[in-house]
Amino acid sequence: LFFKVSQVLEEKRGYQSTDTREAPYQGDPNRVFVRWRNTFSNNLRMGFILEKDPGEAFSSDNGLTQFDYQTFHVYLKNYSSFLKTVALGDYTVSMGQGLIAHNNFGSGKSALISNVKRGGQVLRPYNSLRESEFQRGIGVTLGLTDKIQTTLFASRANRDGNVLNNENIDPENPLPSEFSSFQITGNHRTLSEIEDKNAIGMQTYGAVVSYRDKGFKLSLNGMANFFDGSLNRGDQLYNLYRFEGDHLHNASVDASYRFRNVNFFGESALASTGGSAHVYGALVGLSRRLSSVLVYRNYDKTYNAFQPNAFAESVVGNNERGFYTGLIFNISRNWTLRGYFDLWDHPWLKFGISKPSSGNEFLVRLDYVKKRDHLIYLQYTQENKEADYSSSFAIRQTGFQRRDRIRLHLEHIVSKGFKIRSRVEYSRFANPIAVENGYLLYFDAIYNPALMPFSFSSRIAFFDTDDYNSRIYAFENTVLYEFTIPPYFDQGIRYYLNTRFDFIKNLTLEFRIARSKFTRANQIRDPDSVYFIDALSSGNERIIGNTRTEVKMQVRWAF
């Protein structure tokens, strides 16, 4: 059982009332999270999650307090040779290489050069706080023979969405006739966000039939989505070929084959909108020290899927063609060289650019590891892609924007259970009218002895970027089973401290405090004077001042 509560200490504008308006946020600034999970043997799992985001209010139903987000699952795995999997409640579906849907881990472009192939179970229990990624209903996987199995699933879930013409909805049939988009933030803080909550009903049905024999696998996949109402995205040109309507169907075939030192994989998919999508790749072991990866993708501009997660530059999974290649060379026991190059183009317009466009990206990284006590790596990344960089009513100017990042990272195990880590990183963004630079320097200390009831991790970071375009992302340690990769931008200092206590058997207490102090905050006019004052963010998230402090507590009870 997990219980977690966190809060930003500085007051945001959304919680403030004035003489002319009530506070826009309907709830308090606490994030409250409860998770329970139980595993019986290795076969049966069940659990639930309850969460309230900052600004959301608890509701009441028959005197019972209701969290804004609630998810529950029961998951049975490997019950028999015939009954492979049963998923009840909330679950995820993963098919092939993600052209239709995929929710298992599958990396995109990163220093993990060869981690581009999707895989994993078709059905998995849902344990995430993302409020728009799950199916809700039932799914089963049956082993028809030793080599053939099939998965069937059905779901009915409500999604957040912007309903059009709300005033025309018939009270006796309160289903929206049209909606403009789905909302995926999961925030229900203001009256307008609450109005969007669960506004669109969605039914999903699907099946996967797979054949396996030695190193060969072949699967046929299908998914059908039906919406309560019709999606009408608007008349922007980049939306011309994107899905609109009240139903969307997809079908695909995916295969993988391992032959000696080569692992082939791929998937081809069709959509009811008329388009197709294809991704094919190979992982190749060229020698004991040298391996490579090749991926080709071609996603039609008319191809659409509801939850695609295929290898791509963009997140929508269409209107893209590209070729990716990567190489890993183990120079010696201590030294490794790795890198990739990706080249792509978008045959039609996309958000942020008013013409067909193209781009490329490459990464080079050199690692030095010594007896697992030291890790040092130097990494350089460059990305070039076209975008609109200025606009007026009559004309838009388009050109290449370039991002360069260079990073030096060091880790050292001082003693058993104590590690230090540091990094310096430089970022440069440039387009035809602007050049921005950014810097990040941080130091970490991580103390986690095996036989001690106390552990901690901490960081102090200094950052200075000209604007958000030159931001730098960095992973942060936090409480158990949680991670964060925030962007560092503007100018300032950030530090955090995580502590963990295991003094009582089966009970773990964790505390975290993280604080950012900006030395170059935005200036706004004080409404009560003629002076300018510091402010962070904007709109309802605005904080008066130049600091942002978050505190968090988590309790874990294993019983």
**Using CA atoms, how far apart are residues 298 and 305, in angstroms rounded to an integer?**
14
Give yes or no for a contact between 308 and 339, defined as CB atoms under 8 angstroms apart. Answer: no
- Residue pLDDT, tens place only, 341-368: 999 999 999 888 889 999 999 999 999 9
Q: Could you tell me the maximum CA-CA distance found in the chain, to the nearest angstrom?
A: 79
What does the pLDDT average to over 171-196? 83
Q: Quick one: tokens of 227?
A: 């919406």
pLDDT over threshold 70, residue 173: no
Of 326, 396, 314, 296, the closest CA to residue 351 belongs to 314
Q: 3-state class of 559 per DSSP?
A: coil
The single-letter code of the amino acid at 252 is S
Q: Quick one: tokens of 524?
A: 């706004």
Q: 3-state class of 131 per DSSP?
A: coil
The 3-state secondary structure of 476-510 reads ECCCCCCCECCEECCEEEEEEEEEEEEEECCEEEE
What does the pLDDT average to over 474-485? 91
- Residue pLDDT, tens place only, 132-145: 889 999 999 999 99
Q: 3-state class of 191 per DSSP?
A: helix
Q: What is the pLDDT of residue 170?
A: 57
User: CB-based contacts of 263: which residues, under 8 Å, 6+ apart?
Assistant: 117, 256, 257, 282, 283, 284
What does the pLDDT average to over 413-421? 92
pLDDT over threshold 60, residue 106: no
Q: Considering the chain, what percentage of its residues have pLDDT values greater than 90?
A: 69
Question: What residues are paired with 268 via a beta bridge?
Answer: 253, 278
Q: What is the pLDDT of residue 27?
A: 92
- Residue pLDDT, tens place only, 270-305: 999 889 999 999 999 999 999 999 999 999 999 999
How big is the chain, counted in residues? 559
Band of the pLDDT at 189, cuts 50, 70, 90?
very high
Q: How far is CA 159 from CA 42, 63, 128, 196, 197, in A?
A: 33, 26, 16, 9, 7
DSSP assignment letter at 306: S
**Using CA atoms, how far apart are residues 546 and 522, in angstroms rounded to an integer?**
8
**Using CA atoms, how far apart are residues 188 and 199, in angstroms rounded to an integer?**
12
Band of the pLDDT at 528, cuts 50, 70, 90?
low
**Using CA atoms, how far apart are residues 187 and 12, in angstroms rounded to an integer?**
15
Q: Considering only CA atoms, give the Rg of the chain.
A: 25
The burial of 140, by beta-carbon neighbours within 10 Å (0-12 exposed, 13-18 middle, 19 or more buried), is given as middle
């964060």: which residue's tokens? 484
**Using CA atoms, how far apart are residues 195 and 289, in angstroms rounded to an integer?**
57
**Using CA atoms, how far apart are residues 197 and 195, in angstroms rounded to an integer?**
6
What does the pLDDT average to over 16-21? 84
**Using CA atoms, how far apart are residues 349 and 355, in angstroms rounded to an integer?**
5
Q: Quick one: tokens of 76?
A: 């049975």
Least confident of 171-175, 189-193, 383-387, 490-494: 171-175
- Residue pLDDT, tens place only, 300-333: 999 999 989 999 998 888 999 999 999 999 999 9
